[in-house]
Amino acid sequence: MEQILQRLTSLGVEAERALQGAADRAVLEQVRVRYLGRKGTLAAILRGMADLDPVERPAVGKVANEVKRRLEAALAARREAIEATVRQAALAAERVDVTLPGRPVPMGRLHPSTQILRRICQIWADMGFQVYRSRDVETEEMNFELLNIPAHHPARDMWDTFYTTTEGVLLRTHTSPGQIRAMREYCPEPIRVILPGMCYRYEQITARSEIQFHQVEGLAVGRHVTMTALKGTLVDFAHRMFGADRKVRFRASHFPFTEPSAEMDVECIICEGRGCVVCKQSGWLEILGCGMVHPEVLHNGGYDPAAFSGFAFGMGPERITMLKHGIEDIRYFWANDLRFLEQF
Ligand SMILES: [Zn+2]
């Protein structure tokens, strides 16, 4: 019995020293297994109690329990100390300096074409025109025939486009087919809509021509729509868009889907009419095409040309942006070059 008590005492001293010397989690675990584990020293001593006289066992058991409790407490204390050290180290290593200035987030902005489209839509909305969205993929009939451009018409040569693998289905060359769709939807109600959207043409890409570009089309149909209404409305638009005292002029022109047709010029916004490179010394910039809706087109839209009349116009937002900022190359718009885009 003396011997076993001695072993318990020296185990206690030795194990306690080992626990205190354990520097990290791994060593601590090794020490725990060695002294307190199921195959450890303490367990071995306790197994030796079987050889003792039953009368002596309670006294030895009491000492053994005390040693065990003391070692477990020491183990827990050491574990807590090690965890605290690890936490402190992590805090020190991952410390955030809240006084550092933040990293700036790059600010996005709207594409110049989107900006001008929104401006144009806003002006027409103020004037009572609603936006009518029409499809980019059209039938040949909608894009040409119903707009008074039959297959033999020479205007078709200027408007070659991208055809799909389905016969008679193509990417629209202008927003005008939307006129037919709007008329067929609203007939016989009066119409005041604008139709903004992307158009496509099969062209060689140069500084002046792209295979895709925006158009904003406008259409008004009613019982007493006159050429005077067309002129008054477009002059008002030009004043809202380019300035209230901007001079405006109309020149006779030709489009298959309007009769009579005109083109509208505004006084050059770069040189104020004095003459410059952008306006080719004329003092005028061509801004849009317009005219009274051709009776054939009204008829194709479902309206009786004897009772209804209408006007239509179309403009190119990219062209307006180019004129406004003196941009010489239309390819910049879709080249995704930030040096260009960040200027707007
Ligand atoms: Zn000019």
Average pLDDT of the segment spanning 87-98: 87
pTM (predicted TM-score)? 0.68
Distance (Å) from CA 326 to ligand 1 centroid = 10
Distance (Å) from CA 242 to ligand 1 centroid = 14
Distance (Å) from CA 76 to ligand 1 centroid = 87
Distance (Å) from CA 274 to ligand 1 centroid = 6
Distance (Å) from CA 324 to ligand 1 centroid = 10
Output the six-digit token pair for 126: 């103020």
CB under 5 Å of ion ligand 1: residues = 268, 270-271, 276, 279
Asked whether residue 297 carries a pLDDT value surpassing 90, the answer given is yes
Lowest mean pLDDT among 27-31, 78-82, 206-210, 265-269: 206-210
CA 44 centroid distance within chain: 71
Distance (Å) from CA 251 to ligand 1 centroid = 18
For residue 282, the one-letter residue type is S
pLDDT tens for 179-193 read: 999 999 999 999 999
Distance (Å) from CA 28 to ligand 1 centroid = 86
